[in-house]
Structure 1
Amino acid sequence: MAPKERALDLIAIGRSSVDLYGQQIGGRLEDMGGFAKYVGGSPTNTIIGASRLGLKTGLVTRVGADHMGRFIREELERDGVDVRGVKSDPERLTALVILGIRDHETFPLIFYRENCADMALDESDIDEDFIRSAGCVLLSGTHLSRKNVFAASLRAAKAAKAAGRRVVFDIDYRPVLWGLEARDKGENRFVADAKVTEQLQRILPLCDLIVGTEEEIHILGGSTDTVAAMRAIRKESDALIICKLGAMGCAAYPDAIPDTIEEGIVVPGFPVEVFNVLGAGDAFMAGFLRGWLRGEPVERCCTFGNASGAIVVSRHGCAPAMPAWAEMEYFLAMKQRPHRLREDKQLEHVHWAGVRRGVYDELTVFAFDHRSQFEDIARLCNADEAGIGAFKTLALRALDTVAKRDARFGVLLDGRHGMRALEAAADLPYWIGRPIERPQSCPLEFDTGHADVATEIAEWPLNHVVKCLVHYHPDDPADLRERQERQVVRLFDACRSTRHELLLEIICSKSGAVNGITATRAIQRFYDLGVRPDWWKLEPGANADSWAHIERAVVTNDPLCRGVVLLGLSAPKEELIQSFASAARAGIVKGFAVGRTIFNEPATRWFKGEIGDAAAVAAMAASFSELVDAWRGAKKAHTR
């Protein structure tokens, strides 16, 4: 790539780890029994945050050639981070950090970083062409603690400056990572040490922006007097200095250092409850860089940084808590903010929608999550129910035959008969939905081995979308309607708490007479209850006017909804294809999730022994492919 080209805004260099966050709040690490797995490491957190805020970003680090390293890489790619500089180290493991939230001031953490992959980074990992492809390079203090990582950081900084790029320094001081604290004191932020100060200051002449807390300014400047420390830094660098002041906001010093902190450009913070301070500094850096790299005034950059930090301190985790740009805009426009910020449902919804996995302009799903229907087929054919699982693996093969690893395809699969197929689908790129309702239950019951539905869903992989079918009519008797609504509200809350998407399937036609607005009324009722499914699955028989009503209801109540897929109701293939014409007019309809129309006849013949595996796969693939082609044809006809 020619040096004059700047494909990226920002490249960060440094540590990348997996954070295991204690899920029990208010106790010791010793007493925590469950942990959530997130991406971690200061520069990695920042680069994810910056990407979500709209910057084009890349990362230079090492991860282990292990499951955790692949997890980091996949999460970076999902957030749009360029991973060309992320190297897999076959000799070392990915770093781990165990963290907890004890109280509003105490956040214990243990770093597992002995001979970890990211601290093996060296000069050979620095591709100068890659560095020059960005307008800015971000260095962090932890990666100045050893000769090899210092050399790598220095080479990157020099390459950036030689190409006319800018260098940002996040002081990022963790005494324990410099060998200055006991290993169980990972949360301690300051230990004075002249050798550390000397090492950190070696990078200062190359810096254009320096960011740190007061304690970090102290270690960099070699004084516990903040003004004196900044003046020592100023002697070595003309960089813009940003001093983070926690809940008070931050102060900027573009020129000479004044006599007091308050004489700088002080930008106040946002008063919110501090739930988890870990990650706030990384979020601040991401927000500040969003403005700074786009030429915003310093005050505006500080506001972005303060806002991003305020959002993240209100949440569990670091990287997953980073806001997207739409969320930042919403936060800054709020006229009133609750002190417990995470209780603002709209803000949390905007965040959730901004971090969901994948983008689906089209989704065509082969649905064979049926349980009672397959049991009926097996019984009518005098076949053993044990064969249901084997047939479902054939159905997955049929999907794969058509989809050819195209992520616009998906499966609906159950864990009762379809567990082997679910396990196989884990290695495929397809959207996966999984039913939670007890088959044919009305009022709605959950098909779980637990009294609490959240406990059941917590055992599912995060990429499994929770699918719930409700036989619901807005004119149902009040007691039935209210009972079902309570179940759906419980389920929605469970999905958000376990970080699973929800597909809500509504069938009105089996519960009463329907007209052009019946489905719309049902949808509106669930929105009124605060339920915001990621997906809707609806009956296909609506006409163009009905779909217009449905689309208006969804877009008005939740413009961030992923969309609608059509269900099949075992309709004949020709009838289903005919229904595509009116549904395709609605932009909110992304495809279909059809099952019995595809598998019913091949399954019956297979269970009777009339056809073998290959013929069953071929028959299902042919039917599924015909529906896919028909849907795409209908959609194309209305998007010309």
Structure 2
Amino acid sequence: MAAERQLELITIGRSCIDLYGEQIGGRLEDMTSFAKYIGGSPTNTAVGASRLGLRSGLLTRVGADHFGRFIREQLQREGVSTRGVLEDPARLTALVFLGIRDPETFPLIFYRENCADMALEAADVDEAFIGSAGAVLINGTHLSRDNVFDACLRACTIARANGARVVFDIDYRPVLWGLTRKDMGENRFVADAGVTERLQRVLPLCDLIVGTEEEVHILGGTTDTVAALRAIRERSAALLVCKRGPLGCVAFPGAVPDRLDQGVVGQGFSVEVFNVLGAGDAFMAGFLRGWLRDEPLEAACSYANACGAIVVSRHGCSPAMPTWDELQQFLEGTHPHRLRDDVALEQTHWATTRTGQWPHLTVLAMDHRSQFEALCEQTGADPALIPRFKALALKAVDRLAGGAPGFGLLLDGRFGMRGLEAAADQPYWIGRPIELPGSCPLEFESSPDVATELSTWPANHVVKCLAFYHPDDPADLRERQERQLSRLHDATRKTGHELLVEIIASRNGDIDDRTIARAMQRLYDLGMRPDWWKLEPNDSIAAWRNIEAVIAANDPHCRGVVLLGLSAPEDELIASFQAAASVPVVKGFAVGRTIFADSAERWLSGQIDDEAAIEDLARRFSVLVDAWGAAKANQGASLTA
């Protein structure tokens, strides 16, 4: 593949919203809630390829609607080029409803009448975009309409003219060819000579053809697999790959032998099937990771089979795709038959598919509740004013940050909801508390069923939980708090929220250079892997080195640590930055009362207006931001001295 190419792969065709039933083991009729993912075979493959390290892009159409924007935003989060994702103002983004009934039954309904991606046409194919890739992938489903067939043919012709390779995923869905009732979306095979004839028209352009045995049958025009492969070989010199589910796959770089096992056999992996939907797209992504990088055919088959095995064990298609780190971990280790019970693999999947990068993070923390109620009592202000003041937090952050990365805010749902709602349109990190203020043992402010509460939170809200927790607490207190934290950790993984655990140990006992590290290790030993830690300021470099060592030993994928303020005076807090800044895992701070206490008191008592409060908050916040930046810069300078 030419080294100068911008992309290694462009996939072409379906791009939709998958609405996956969350209730498992019942009829689609009885499912009551659905998880929303991006979907469509070429879209899934583009995501899977990107997660495996290939530079991928997508050519499709989406509606000028909320779902179309979600597809574009999610592709960007996944690292997939959206240069070819075109907006169609006349049509809606396609939908698919899917369910998991049992290991053999996966009902699905396609809502694709006059949808955006099926309106793709030859004029949408930009020659420069296609020419920027080392390979293009087309899907059989998209060849069912003349306009899309022409678009795919043009893309293939351009690719071949530019020395790129053409990949054909047979991807046969009879319902999308009008060959079954609309409620038979899971049906995988209906023989049809017209479909065979149309699909075969692209064969001379192909360098790689991949399909299940049923898909090979429709392409070859016979239900005898070997005969079908030979019929395909007569029309194409492409590498042929036949997917065989748990048996793995067989590849045929040349003549097709008398038996399938006489080809290049890629052994499958024995795992429990939870959801077959999306496995083929993962297989394709894995195979392309090897084939496009010119690795041995056996390696490409191994990647493909492993990716398929991983995805059949999970809910969803695109979100289940493994990353390169995860794939290597799978191939190098031994795993339970019920793969989704592999805690280590699931942790790697979680940690390596989180979106957003936070090399540094400075947060205005205004999630306090009891403190604001006390301020109202002190000033005689109506507590109904608290939400109005908290809404100013976002304006203060934005005044300082101006949309720049590395800034965030912490707001609560009780008094800070208006600010949380407004933050949805901003690029900032958002944290939100779940704990009942001041509780020890830890209690949650919401329903005791914390997962039910979190299911109502937007996906980008990081769940923050403060625990007054000391490793030398009495056993009964410590165990009660650990049970609550473990419940919360489990809930956040099920709802897909990141978790920030804030530990304040100093209220419960004396602390030394090992105390916080010991507390963290206890939680790690319980199986917790918080995405973030929020810890007390400390001027001991030894304490921070111990914290760093605990994180490195237990969770090298941890997002990092932010400092809390504990109402410390500004100069004391700034002084504490020096020790913390010496440790790379500390990314910044999340400070509140040091910044807002004076402004809030004066605003609640009517001494200043909104503008003055915003300006004062932004100024005080900027002092700490600049001080943290200087502390980090000083550490860098000392390392190079």
In the other structure, the counterpart of 1:185 is: 184
Q: Distance in 2 between matches of 1:340 and 1:486?
A: 26
User: Are the equivalent residues in 1 in contact too, given 2:393–2:409 (CA < 8 A)?
Assistant: no
Aligned counterpart in structure 2 of residue 550 of structure 1, from 547, 550, 575: 547
In the other structure, the counterpart of 1:439 is: 437
Residue 530 in 1 paired to residue 527 in 2? yes
Aligned AA for 1:23? E
Aligned counterpart in structure 1 of residue 507 of structure 2, from 482, 502, 510: 510
User: Are the equivalent residues in 1 in contact too, given 2:391–2:419 (CA < 8 A)?
Assistant: yes
The 1:395/1:253 distance shift into structure 2, 3 A limit, reads same
Residues 549-591 of structure 1 show CA distances to partners (whole Å, capped at 9, x for unaligned) of: 0000011110010000000001001110110000000000000
In the other structure, the counterpart of 1:592 is: 589
Q: Distance in 2 between matches of 1:346 and 1:554?
A: 15
Aligned AA for 2:432? R
Aligned AA for 1:535? W
Aligned counterpart in structure 2 of residue 415 of structure 1, from 413, 416, 419: 413
Aligned AA for 2:354? R
Q: Distance in 2 between matches of 1:357 and 1:573?
A: 33
Map 1:135-534; keep pairs closer than 5 Å.
135-334=134-333, 336-448=334-446, 450-534=447-531
Aligned AA for 2:382? D
User: Are the equivalent residues in 2 in contact too, given 1:120–1:148 (CA < 8 A)?
Assistant: yes
Q: Distance in 1 between matches of 2:118 and 2:432?
A: 40
Residues 25-75 of structure 1 show CA distances to partners (whole Å, capped at 9, x for unaligned) of: 000000101100011000000000000000001100001010000111111
Give, in angstroms, the shift of residue 331 of structure 1. 0.3
Q: Distance in 2 between matches of 1:491 and 1:593?
A: 21
Question: Secondary structure at the residue paired with 1:599?
Answer: helix
Residue 56 in 1 paired to residue 55 in 2? yes
User: Are the equivalent residues in 1 in contact too, given 2:18–2:37 (CA < 8 A)?
Assistant: yes
Aligned AA for 2:221? G
Moved more, 242-251 or 403-412: 403-412
Q: Distance in 1 between matches of 2:196 and 2:636?
A: 62
Question: Secondary structure at the residue paired with 1:639?
Answer: helix
Q: Distance in 1 between matches of 2:178 and 2:496?
A: 37
Residue 618 in 1 paired to residue 599 in 2? no
Give, in angstroms, the shift of residue 5 of structure 1. 3.7
Question: Secondary structure at the residue paired with 1:468?
Answer: strand
Question: Secondary structure at the residue paired with 2:383?
Answer: coil
Q: Distance in 1 between matches of 2:580 and 2:308?
A: 43
Q: Distance in 1 between matches of 2:335 and 2:370?
A: 49
Residues 116-171 of structure 1 show CA distances to partners (whole Å, capped at 9, x for unaligned) of: 00000001110011101010000000110000000000000000001111000000
In the other structure, the counterpart of 1:127 is: 126
The 1:246/1:351 distance shift into structure 2, 3 A limit, reads same
User: Are the equivalent residues in 2 in contact too, given 1:189–1:215 (CA < 8 A)?
Assistant: yes
- Number of corresponding residues: 636
Q: Distance in 2 between matches of 1:426 and 1:475?
A: 40
User: Are the equivalent residues in 2 in contact too, given 1:516–1:542 (CA < 8 A)?
Assistant: no
> Structure 2 regions of 5+ residues with no counterpart?
none
Question: Secondary structure at the residue paired with 2:507?
Answer: coil
Give, in angstroms, the shift of residue 395 of structure 1. 1.6
Give, in angstroms, the shift of residue 451 of structure 1. 2.7
Question: Secondary structure at the residue paired with 1:561?
Answer: coil
Q: TM-score, normalised by structure 1?
A: 0.99
User: Are the equivalent residues in 2 in contact too, given 1:503–1:535 (CA < 8 A)?
Assistant: yes
Residues 515-554 of structure 1 show CA distances to partners (whole Å, capped at 9, x for unaligned) of: 1110010000000011100000000124111100000001
Question: Runs of 4+ in structure 1 displaced over 4 angstroms?
Answer: none
User: Are the equivalent residues in 1 in contact too, given 2:49–2:286 (CA < 8 A)?
Assistant: yes
Aligned AA for 1:635? K
Q: Distance in 1 between matches of 2:125 and 2:410?
A: 44
In the other structure, the counterpart of 2:557 is: 560
Question: Secondary structure at the residue paired with 2:519?
Answer: helix
Q: Distance in 1 between matches of 2:220 and 2:4?
A: 36
Q: Distance in 2 between matches of 1:445 and 1:398?
A: 31
User: Are the equivalent residues in 2 in contact too, given 1:170–1:212 (CA < 8 A)?
Assistant: yes
User: Are the equivalent residues in 1 in contact too, given 2:539–2:578 (CA < 8 A)?
Assistant: no
Map 1:41-52; keep pairs closer than 5 Å.
41-52=40-51
Aligned AA for 2:499? L
Q: TM-score, normalised by structure 2?
A: 0.99
Moved more, 398-407 or 26-35: 398-407
Map 1:1-150; keep pairs closer than 5 Å.
5-150=4-149
Give, in angstroms, the shift of residue 636 of structure 1. 1.2
Aligned AA for 1:176? V
Question: Secondary structure at the residue paired with 1:638?
Answer: helix
Q: Distance in 2 between matches of 1:218 and 1:406?
A: 54
> Structure 1 regions of 5+ residues with no counterpart?
none
Give, in angstroms, the shift of residue 241 of structure 1. 0.2
Q: Distance in 1 between matches of 2:198 and 2:602?
A: 75
Give, in angstroms, the shift of residue 407 of structure 1. 2.6
User: Are the equivalent residues in 1 in contact too, given 2:431–2:464 (CA < 8 A)?
Assistant: yes
Give, in angstroms, the shift of residue 354 of structure 1. 1.1
Aligned AA for 2:222? S
